[in-house]
Amino acid sequence: MILALVRRDLLLVLRRPADAATALLFFVVVTSLFPLGIGAEPNLLRAIAPGVIWVAALLSSMLSLARLYADDHADGTLDQLLLGAAPLAALAAAKAFAHWLVAGLPLALIAPLIALQYDLPAALYGVLALSLLLGTPVLSLLGAIGAALVLGLRGGGVLLALLVLPLCVPVLIIGAGAVEMAASGLSPQGQLLLLGAMLVVAAAFAPLASAAALRISAE
Amino acid sequence: MKWFWYASPQTFYPLAGKIALAGGIAAAALALAGLYVGFFVAPTDAQQGEVYRVIFIHVPAAWMSMFLYLVMAFWAALGLALNTRLSGMMASALAPTGALFTFIALWTGSLWGKPTWGTYWVWDARLTSELLLLFLYLGFILLQAAIDDRRRAERAGAILALVGVVNIPIIYYSVQWWNTLHQGASVSLTRAPTMAATMFTGMILMALAFWMYSIAVALVRVRCMIREQG
Protein backbone atom coordinates (compact mmCIF):
# COMPACT_ATOMS: atom_id res chain seq x y z
CA MET A 1 0.00 0.00 0.00
CA ILE A 2 2.82 2.37 0.96
CA LEU A 3 4.84 1.45 -2.11
CA ALA A 4 1.74 1.65 -4.25
CA LEU A 5 1.09 5.17 -3.02
CA VAL A 6 4.67 6.26 -3.71
CA ARG A 7 4.51 4.66 -7.17
CA ARG A 8 1.20 6.35 -7.91
CA ASP A 9 2.50 9.78 -6.87
CA LEU A 10 5.60 9.33 -9.00
CA LEU A 11 3.52 8.15 -11.92
CA LEU A 12 1.29 11.21 -11.63
CA VAL A 13 4.37 13.40 -11.76
CA LEU A 14 5.83 11.49 -14.73
CA ARG A 15 2.62 12.01 -16.67
CA ARG A 16 2.87 15.74 -16.07
CA PRO A 17 6.61 16.39 -15.79
CA ALA A 18 6.16 20.15 -16.13
CA ASP A 19 4.85 20.32 -12.55
CA ALA A 20 8.02 18.89 -11.09
CA ALA A 21 10.20 20.89 -13.43
CA THR A 22 8.62 24.14 -12.21
CA ALA A 23 10.00 23.76 -8.68
CA LEU A 24 13.43 22.81 -9.97
CA LEU A 25 13.48 25.69 -12.41
CA PHE A 26 12.38 28.03 -9.62
CA PHE A 27 15.41 26.89 -7.62
CA VAL A 28 17.75 27.58 -10.52
CA VAL A 29 16.18 30.97 -11.32
CA VAL A 30 16.25 32.17 -7.71
CA THR A 31 19.89 31.23 -7.28
CA SER A 32 20.74 33.01 -10.54
CA LEU A 33 19.07 36.18 -9.30
CA PHE A 34 21.43 36.70 -6.37
CA PRO A 35 24.56 37.45 -8.42
CA LEU A 36 22.47 39.83 -10.52
CA GLY A 37 21.11 41.58 -7.45
CA ILE A 38 24.22 41.92 -5.33
CA GLY A 39 26.96 41.91 -7.96
CA ALA A 40 29.15 39.12 -9.26
CA GLU A 41 32.20 39.64 -7.08
CA PRO A 42 33.72 36.11 -6.79
CA ASN A 43 34.77 36.31 -3.12
CA LEU A 44 31.35 37.56 -2.10
CA LEU A 45 29.64 34.86 -4.15
CA ARG A 46 31.80 32.16 -2.62
CA ALA A 47 30.92 33.43 0.85
CA ILE A 48 27.14 33.51 0.32
CA ALA A 49 26.81 30.43 -1.89
CA PRO A 50 25.92 27.85 0.83
CA GLY A 51 23.31 30.12 2.37
CA VAL A 52 21.77 31.19 -0.92
CA ILE A 53 21.54 27.64 -2.25
CA TRP A 54 19.98 26.44 0.99
CA VAL A 55 17.44 29.28 1.18
CA ALA A 56 16.49 28.72 -2.45
CA ALA A 57 16.03 25.00 -1.75
CA LEU A 58 13.79 25.87 1.18
CA LEU A 59 11.63 28.21 -0.92
CA SER A 60 11.44 25.81 -3.82
CA SER A 61 10.36 23.05 -1.47
CA MET A 62 7.58 25.26 -0.04
CA LEU A 63 6.37 26.02 -3.54
CA SER A 64 5.66 22.41 -4.38
CA LEU A 65 4.42 21.48 -0.90
CA ALA A 66 1.30 23.58 -1.30
CA ARG A 67 -0.02 20.98 -3.72
CA LEU A 68 1.05 17.90 -1.77
CA TYR A 69 -2.47 17.03 -0.61
CA ALA A 70 -4.52 19.54 -2.59
CA ASP A 71 -5.01 17.40 -5.72
CA ASP A 72 -5.82 14.29 -3.70
CA HIS A 73 -8.29 16.32 -1.68
CA ALA A 74 -9.93 17.68 -4.81
CA ASP A 75 -10.43 14.34 -6.58
CA GLY A 76 -11.46 12.37 -3.50
CA THR A 77 -8.34 10.20 -3.25
CA LEU A 78 -7.67 11.60 0.19
CA ASP A 79 -11.05 10.46 1.46
CA GLN A 80 -10.28 6.95 0.22
CA LEU A 81 -6.94 7.01 2.00
CA LEU A 82 -8.57 8.21 5.21
CA LEU A 83 -11.17 5.46 5.03
CA GLY A 84 -8.70 2.74 4.10
CA ALA A 85 -7.19 0.21 6.47
CA ALA A 86 -3.57 1.32 6.09
CA PRO A 87 -2.29 3.49 8.97
CA LEU A 88 -2.59 7.13 8.01
CA ALA A 89 0.82 8.07 9.44
CA ALA A 90 2.48 5.55 7.10
CA LEU A 91 0.58 7.03 4.17
CA ALA A 92 1.64 10.53 5.21
CA ALA A 93 5.24 9.32 5.33
CA ALA A 94 4.82 7.85 1.83
CA LYS A 95 3.44 11.13 0.52
CA ALA A 96 6.34 13.05 2.04
CA PHE A 97 8.81 10.54 0.58
CA ALA A 98 7.27 10.88 -2.88
CA HIS A 99 7.42 14.65 -2.54
CA TRP A 100 11.08 14.45 -1.63
CA LEU A 101 11.88 12.19 -4.61
CA VAL A 102 10.29 14.73 -6.91
CA ALA A 103 11.17 18.04 -5.25
CA GLY A 104 14.12 17.41 -2.94
CA LEU A 105 16.36 14.91 -4.64
CA PRO A 106 16.67 16.86 -7.91
CA LEU A 107 17.74 19.94 -5.94
CA ALA A 108 20.52 18.00 -4.25
CA LEU A 109 21.63 16.65 -7.62
CA ILE A 110 21.65 19.99 -9.41
CA ALA A 111 23.15 21.95 -6.49
CA PRO A 112 26.80 21.27 -7.53
CA LEU A 113 26.01 22.95 -10.86
CA ILE A 114 24.78 26.05 -9.03
CA ALA A 115 27.85 25.85 -6.78
CA LEU A 116 29.96 25.91 -9.93
CA GLN A 117 28.29 29.17 -10.94
CA TYR A 118 29.10 30.59 -7.51
CA ASP A 119 32.73 29.60 -7.95
CA LEU A 120 32.65 27.27 -4.95
CA PRO A 121 35.72 24.98 -4.80
CA ALA A 122 34.99 21.56 -6.31
CA ALA A 123 35.91 19.86 -3.03
CA LEU A 124 32.76 21.29 -1.48
CA TYR A 125 30.31 19.88 -4.03
CA GLY A 126 30.11 16.59 -2.19
CA VAL A 127 29.36 18.20 1.17
CA LEU A 128 26.78 20.52 -0.37
CA ALA A 129 24.97 17.69 -2.13
CA LEU A 130 25.17 15.49 0.96
CA SER A 131 23.81 18.22 3.24
CA LEU A 132 20.91 18.76 0.83
CA LEU A 133 20.34 15.01 0.57
CA LEU A 134 20.00 14.81 4.35
CA GLY A 135 18.20 18.12 4.83
CA THR A 136 15.58 18.25 2.09
CA PRO A 137 13.68 15.18 3.37
CA VAL A 138 13.28 17.02 6.70
CA LEU A 139 11.80 19.95 4.78
CA SER A 140 9.37 17.61 3.02
CA LEU A 141 8.38 15.96 6.30
CA LEU A 142 7.86 19.21 8.21
CA GLY A 143 6.20 20.82 5.22
CA ALA A 144 3.76 17.96 4.91
CA ILE A 145 2.38 18.86 8.36
CA GLY A 146 1.79 22.40 7.16
CA ALA A 147 0.30 21.21 3.87
CA ALA A 148 -2.18 19.06 5.79
CA LEU A 149 -3.10 21.95 8.11
CA VAL A 150 -3.83 24.45 5.34
CA LEU A 151 -5.69 21.94 3.17
CA GLY A 152 -8.53 23.66 1.33
CA LEU A 153 -7.95 27.12 2.84
CA ARG A 154 -7.92 30.29 0.78
CA GLY A 155 -4.39 31.63 0.42
CA GLY A 156 -3.15 28.27 1.65
CA GLY A 157 0.16 28.39 -0.21
CA VAL A 158 1.41 31.59 1.38
CA LEU A 159 0.08 30.56 4.78
CA LEU A 160 1.89 27.23 4.44
CA ALA A 161 5.19 29.02 3.92
CA LEU A 162 4.53 31.29 6.91
CA LEU A 163 3.81 28.32 9.15
CA VAL A 164 6.59 26.04 8.02
CA LEU A 165 9.53 28.34 7.29
CA PRO A 166 10.23 29.24 10.95
CA LEU A 167 10.18 25.54 11.79
CA CYS A 168 12.75 24.84 9.08
CA VAL A 169 15.32 27.27 10.45
CA PRO A 170 17.44 24.63 12.24
CA VAL A 171 17.78 22.63 9.03
CA LEU A 172 18.83 25.76 7.17
CA ILE A 173 21.38 26.79 9.80
CA ILE A 174 22.96 23.37 10.13
CA GLY A 175 22.79 22.52 6.42
CA ALA A 176 24.43 25.73 5.31
CA GLY A 177 26.74 25.47 8.33
CA ALA A 178 28.08 22.12 7.14
CA VAL A 179 29.16 23.61 3.82
CA GLU A 180 30.68 26.65 5.53
CA MET A 181 32.61 24.42 7.93
CA ALA A 182 34.03 22.48 5.01
CA ALA A 183 34.83 25.75 3.20
CA SER A 184 36.89 26.96 6.15
CA GLY A 185 38.85 23.71 6.20
CA LEU A 186 37.11 22.04 9.15
CA SER A 187 35.38 18.70 9.14
CA PRO A 188 31.64 19.03 8.43
CA GLN A 189 31.00 15.64 10.00
CA GLY A 190 29.38 17.00 13.16
CA GLN A 191 26.88 19.14 11.23
CA LEU A 192 26.08 16.31 8.83
CA LEU A 193 25.48 13.94 11.73
CA LEU A 194 23.17 16.53 13.30
CA LEU A 195 21.25 16.77 10.02
CA GLY A 196 21.01 12.99 9.99
CA ALA A 197 19.69 13.03 13.55
CA MET A 198 17.08 15.62 12.59
CA LEU A 199 16.05 13.47 9.66
CA VAL A 200 15.59 10.44 11.92
CA VAL A 201 13.55 12.40 14.47
CA ALA A 202 11.45 14.08 11.78
CA ALA A 203 10.84 10.79 9.99
CA ALA A 204 9.67 9.23 13.25
CA PHE A 205 7.33 11.97 14.47
CA ALA A 206 6.35 14.29 11.60
CA PRO A 207 4.13 11.70 9.84
CA LEU A 208 2.14 11.29 13.07
CA ALA A 209 1.53 15.04 13.20
CA SER A 210 0.67 15.06 9.48
CA ALA A 211 -1.84 12.27 9.99
CA ALA A 212 -3.48 14.10 12.90
CA ALA A 213 -3.61 17.29 10.85
CA LEU A 214 -5.12 15.44 7.86
CA ARG A 215 -7.87 13.98 10.02
CA ILE A 216 -8.72 17.43 11.34
CA SER A 217 -8.67 19.09 7.92
CA ALA A 218 -10.67 16.40 6.16
CA GLU A 219 -13.39 16.18 8.79
CA MET B 1 -12.87 19.96 43.79
CA LYS B 2 -14.57 19.02 40.61
CA TRP B 3 -12.17 20.22 37.92
CA PHE B 4 -14.40 19.38 35.02
CA TRP B 5 -17.26 21.39 36.45
CA TYR B 6 -15.53 24.49 35.12
CA ALA B 7 -14.58 22.86 31.81
CA SER B 8 -17.98 23.82 30.46
CA PRO B 9 -18.09 27.30 28.93
CA GLN B 10 -21.41 28.11 30.63
CA THR B 11 -20.13 27.52 34.15
CA PHE B 12 -16.72 28.97 33.40
CA TYR B 13 -18.08 32.25 32.04
CA PRO B 14 -18.97 33.89 35.40
CA LEU B 15 -15.85 32.51 37.11
CA ALA B 16 -13.67 33.86 34.29
CA GLY B 17 -15.24 37.28 34.80
CA LYS B 18 -14.33 37.28 38.50
CA ILE B 19 -10.77 36.03 37.92
CA ALA B 20 -10.25 38.51 35.09
CA LEU B 21 -11.35 41.40 37.30
CA ALA B 22 -9.11 40.30 40.18
CA GLY B 23 -6.22 39.70 37.77
CA GLY B 24 -6.66 43.12 36.21
CA ILE B 25 -6.63 44.87 39.59
CA ALA B 26 -3.62 42.83 40.76
CA ALA B 27 -1.81 43.60 37.49
CA ALA B 28 -2.35 47.33 37.88
CA ALA B 29 -1.23 47.32 41.52
CA LEU B 30 1.83 45.18 40.86
CA ALA B 31 2.80 47.22 37.81
CA LEU B 32 2.57 50.44 39.81
CA ALA B 33 4.69 48.97 42.60
CA GLY B 34 7.15 47.47 40.11
CA LEU B 35 7.54 50.70 38.14
CA TYR B 36 7.98 52.65 41.38
CA VAL B 37 10.73 50.31 42.53
CA GLY B 38 12.21 50.32 39.05
CA PHE B 39 12.33 54.07 38.56
CA PHE B 40 12.75 55.51 42.05
CA VAL B 41 14.20 52.86 44.36
CA ALA B 42 16.59 50.80 42.24
CA PRO B 43 20.09 52.32 42.02
CA THR B 44 21.61 53.63 38.82
CA ASP B 45 23.78 51.03 37.10
CA ALA B 46 27.50 51.66 37.40
CA GLN B 47 28.27 50.89 33.73
CA GLN B 48 25.06 51.50 31.83
CA GLY B 49 23.65 54.50 33.72
CA GLU B 50 19.91 55.02 33.59
CA VAL B 51 19.32 53.14 30.36
CA TYR B 52 19.45 49.77 32.09
CA ARG B 53 15.99 50.50 33.53
CA VAL B 54 14.57 49.01 30.33
CA ILE B 55 15.25 45.72 32.11
CA PHE B 56 12.07 46.09 34.16
CA ILE B 57 9.98 45.74 31.02
CA HIS B 58 12.35 43.80 28.78
CA VAL B 59 13.20 40.79 30.92
CA PRO B 60 9.68 40.10 32.27
CA ALA B 61 8.27 40.47 28.74
CA ALA B 62 10.85 38.01 27.39
CA TRP B 63 10.04 35.54 30.17
CA MET B 64 6.32 35.83 29.50
CA SER B 65 6.76 35.47 25.74
CA MET B 66 8.35 32.05 26.19
CA PHE B 67 6.24 30.95 29.14
CA LEU B 68 2.96 31.84 27.40
CA TYR B 69 3.90 29.67 24.43
CA LEU B 70 4.32 26.72 26.78
CA VAL B 71 0.98 27.48 28.45
CA MET B 72 -0.65 27.80 25.04
CA ALA B 73 0.78 24.46 23.94
CA PHE B 74 -0.39 22.91 27.23
CA TRP B 75 -3.98 24.01 26.60
CA ALA B 76 -3.70 22.95 22.98
CA ALA B 77 -2.57 19.47 24.02
CA LEU B 78 -5.30 19.25 26.63
CA GLY B 79 -7.86 20.29 24.05
CA LEU B 80 -6.70 17.61 21.61
CA ALA B 81 -6.51 14.92 24.27
CA LEU B 82 -9.71 15.55 26.22
CA ASN B 83 -11.69 17.29 23.49
CA THR B 84 -12.79 20.06 25.84
CA ARG B 85 -14.04 23.19 24.14
CA LEU B 86 -12.61 25.54 26.71
CA SER B 87 -9.01 24.35 26.24
CA GLY B 88 -8.97 25.36 22.59
CA MET B 89 -10.41 28.72 23.50
CA MET B 90 -7.72 29.23 26.14
CA ALA B 91 -5.00 28.47 23.60
CA SER B 92 -6.47 30.89 21.06
CA ALA B 93 -6.93 33.55 23.75
CA LEU B 94 -3.30 33.35 24.90
CA ALA B 95 -1.75 33.69 21.43
CA PRO B 96 -2.25 37.44 20.90
CA THR B 97 -0.90 38.23 24.39
CA GLY B 98 2.11 36.00 23.78
CA ALA B 99 2.76 37.70 20.45
CA LEU B 100 2.42 41.09 22.14
CA PHE B 101 4.99 40.22 24.82
CA THR B 102 7.35 38.81 22.19
CA PHE B 103 7.08 42.04 20.25
CA ILE B 104 7.60 44.12 23.41
CA ALA B 105 10.67 42.06 24.32
CA LEU B 106 12.14 42.62 20.83
CA TRP B 107 11.22 46.28 20.77
CA THR B 108 12.55 47.20 24.22
CA GLY B 109 15.56 45.02 23.53
CA SER B 110 16.44 46.99 20.42
CA LEU B 111 15.96 50.27 22.31
CA TRP B 112 18.32 48.92 24.96
CA GLY B 113 20.75 47.59 22.42
CA LYS B 114 21.29 50.92 20.66
CA PRO B 115 22.93 52.76 23.60
CA THR B 116 24.77 49.74 25.03
CA TRP B 117 25.78 47.66 22.02
CA GLY B 118 25.64 50.51 19.53
CA THR B 119 23.08 48.81 17.30
CA TYR B 120 19.34 48.25 17.25
CA TRP B 121 19.60 44.76 15.90
CA VAL B 122 22.18 42.03 15.67
CA TRP B 123 21.71 38.50 14.35
CA ASP B 124 22.41 37.08 17.74
CA ALA B 125 21.12 33.74 18.95
CA ARG B 126 18.65 35.08 21.51
CA LEU B 127 17.34 37.86 19.31
CA THR B 128 16.90 35.50 16.41
CA SER B 129 15.12 32.83 18.42
CA GLU B 130 12.81 35.46 19.92
CA LEU B 131 12.06 36.71 16.39
CA LEU B 132 11.29 33.16 15.30
CA LEU B 133 9.03 32.80 18.34
CA LEU B 134 7.13 35.86 17.12
CA PHE B 135 6.76 34.20 13.70
CA LEU B 136 5.43 31.05 15.37
CA TYR B 137 2.84 33.07 17.32
CA LEU B 138 1.82 34.97 14.18
CA GLY B 139 1.59 31.74 12.20
CA PHE B 140 -0.70 30.29 14.87
CA ILE B 141 -2.92 33.38 14.84
CA LEU B 142 -3.03 33.55 11.03
CA LEU B 143 -3.81 29.84 10.69
CA GLN B 144 -6.73 30.14 13.10
CA ALA B 145 -7.92 33.29 11.36
CA ALA B 146 -7.85 31.57 7.94
CA ILE B 147 -10.12 28.72 9.03
CA ASP B 148 -13.81 29.54 9.21
CA ASP B 149 -14.90 26.47 11.12
CA ARG B 150 -14.17 27.19 14.81
CA ARG B 151 -13.63 23.58 15.76
CA ARG B 152 -11.21 22.89 12.95
CA ALA B 153 -9.40 26.17 13.66
CA GLU B 154 -8.83 25.20 17.28
CA ARG B 155 -7.63 21.72 16.51
CA ALA B 156 -5.41 22.75 13.59
CA GLY B 157 -3.91 25.48 15.77
CA ALA B 158 -3.30 22.92 18.50
CA ILE B 159 -1.29 20.70 16.15
CA LEU B 160 0.76 23.69 15.01
CA ALA B 161 1.40 24.82 18.60
CA LEU B 162 2.54 21.32 19.57
CA VAL B 163 4.85 20.96 16.57
CA GLY B 164 6.22 24.38 17.46
CA VAL B 165 6.82 23.49 21.09
CA VAL B 166 8.78 20.39 20.11
CA ASN B 167 10.79 22.49 17.69
CA ILE B 168 11.54 25.42 19.99
CA PRO B 169 14.46 23.81 21.86
CA ILE B 170 15.95 22.73 18.51
CA ILE B 171 15.57 26.24 17.08
CA TYR B 172 17.00 27.72 20.27
CA TYR B 173 20.10 25.57 20.28
CA SER B 174 20.67 25.78 16.54
CA VAL B 175 20.77 29.57 16.62
CA GLN B 176 22.87 29.49 19.76
CA TRP B 177 25.53 27.43 18.06
CA TRP B 178 25.23 29.63 15.04
CA ASN B 179 25.97 32.98 16.63
CA THR B 180 25.82 34.67 19.99
CA LEU B 181 26.41 38.10 21.54
CA HIS B 182 23.56 38.48 24.04
CA GLN B 183 24.74 38.13 27.62
CA GLY B 184 23.81 35.01 29.54
CA ALA B 185 20.80 35.05 31.83
CA SER B 186 21.43 37.27 34.86
CA VAL B 187 18.80 35.48 36.91
CA SER B 188 18.54 31.75 37.34
CA LEU B 189 16.89 29.42 39.81
CA THR B 190 20.08 27.66 40.79
CA ARG B 191 22.24 30.54 41.97
CA ALA B 192 21.94 33.95 43.59
CA PRO B 193 21.02 36.79 41.21
CA THR B 194 23.98 38.83 39.99
CA MET B 195 22.29 42.15 40.57
CA ALA B 196 21.22 44.50 43.35
CA ALA B 197 18.33 43.23 45.46
CA THR B 198 16.09 46.21 44.61
CA MET B 199 16.58 45.69 40.88
CA PHE B 200 15.65 42.07 41.32
CA THR B 201 12.56 43.01 43.35
CA GLY B 202 11.43 45.45 40.68
CA MET B 203 11.86 42.84 37.97
CA ILE B 204 9.93 40.19 39.89
CA LEU B 205 7.12 42.67 40.60
CA MET B 206 6.89 43.52 36.91
CA ALA B 207 6.97 39.84 35.97
CA LEU B 208 4.08 39.16 38.36
CA ALA B 209 2.22 42.17 36.95
CA PHE B 210 2.64 40.82 33.39
CA TRP B 211 1.52 37.44 34.61
CA MET B 212 -1.68 38.85 36.11
CA TYR B 213 -2.24 40.96 33.00
CA SER B 214 -1.94 37.88 30.78
CA ILE B 215 -4.44 35.97 32.91
CA ALA B 216 -6.90 38.87 32.92
CA VAL B 217 -6.67 39.59 29.20
CA ALA B 218 -6.80 35.93 28.18
CA LEU B 219 -9.89 35.36 30.30
CA VAL B 220 -11.63 38.43 28.90
CA ARG B 221 -10.86 37.08 25.43
CA VAL B 222 -12.24 33.66 26.38
CA ARG B 223 -15.43 35.33 27.62
CA CYS B 224 -15.76 37.09 24.26
CA MET B 225 -15.30 33.77 22.45
CA ILE B 226 -17.94 32.10 24.62
CA ARG B 227 -20.33 34.94 23.83
CA GLU B 228 -19.59 34.75 20.09
CA GLN B 229 -20.15 31.03 19.89
CA GLY B 230 -23.17 31.09 22.15
What ipTM is given for this predicted complex? Answer: 0.87
Q: What's this model's pTM, rounded to 2 decimal places? A: 0.88
In chain B, what residues touch A142 (CB-CB under 8 Å)? 163
pLDDT tens digits for range A136-155: 999 999 999 999 999 888 87
Mean pLDDT of B212-226: 93
Any idea where the domains of chain B sit in the sequence? 14-229
* Dihedral angle, C-alpha B54, B59, B64, B67, nearest 10 °: 170
**Contact between residue B89 and residue B60 where contact means Cβ atoms under 8 Å apart:** no
Q: Is A177 on the interface with B (CB under 8 A)?
A: yes
Would you place residue B230 in the very low, low, confident or very high pLDDT band (cuts 50, 70, 90)? low
* pLDDT confidence of residue B23: 93
Q: Do A209 and B170 touch (CB under 8 A)?
A: no
- Residues of chain A short of pLDDT 70, as ranges, are none
Inter-chain CB pairs, A–B, below 8 Å: 67
Q: Do B132 and A166 touch (CB under 8 A)?
A: yes
Dihedral sign, Cα of residue B83, residue B84, residue B85, residue B88 = negative
Residue B16 C-alpha, separation from nearest chain A C-alpha, in angstroms: 29
In chain B, what residues touch A219 (CB-CB under 8 Å)? 152
pLDDT tens digits for range B64-79: 998 999 999 999 999 9
Residues contacting A106, CB < 8 A, separation 6+: A20, A24
Q: Is B54 a residue whose pLDDT tops 80?
A: yes
Give the residues across from B45 on adjacent strands. B49
Q: Which of A27, A81, A49 is nearest to A180 (CA)?
A: A49
Would you place residue B195 in the very low, low, confident or very high pLDDT band (cuts 50, 70, 90)? low
Would you place residue B184 in the very low, low, confident or very high pLDDT band (cuts 50, 70, 90)? low
Q: Which residue of A has its CA nearest to B152?
A: A216
Q: Which of B138, B167, B178 lies closest to A173 in CB terms?
A: B178
Q: Do B143 and A163 touch (CB under 8 A)?
A: yes
Q: Is B9 a residue whose pLDDT tops 90?
A: no
Q: Is B190 a residue whose pLDDT tops 70?
A: no
Q: Do B135 and A173 touch (CB under 8 A)?
A: no
Residue A16 C-alpha, separation from nearest chain B C-alpha, in angstroms: 31
Any idea where the domains of chain A sit in the sequence? 2-217
Q: Which of A85-94, B22-31, B103-112, B162-171 has the lowest mean pLDDT?
A: B162-171
Would you place residue B186 in the very low, low, confident or very high pLDDT band (cuts 50, 70, 90)? low
Q: Do B132 and A169 touch (CB under 8 A)?
A: yes
Q: Is B170 a residue whose pLDDT tops 90?
A: no
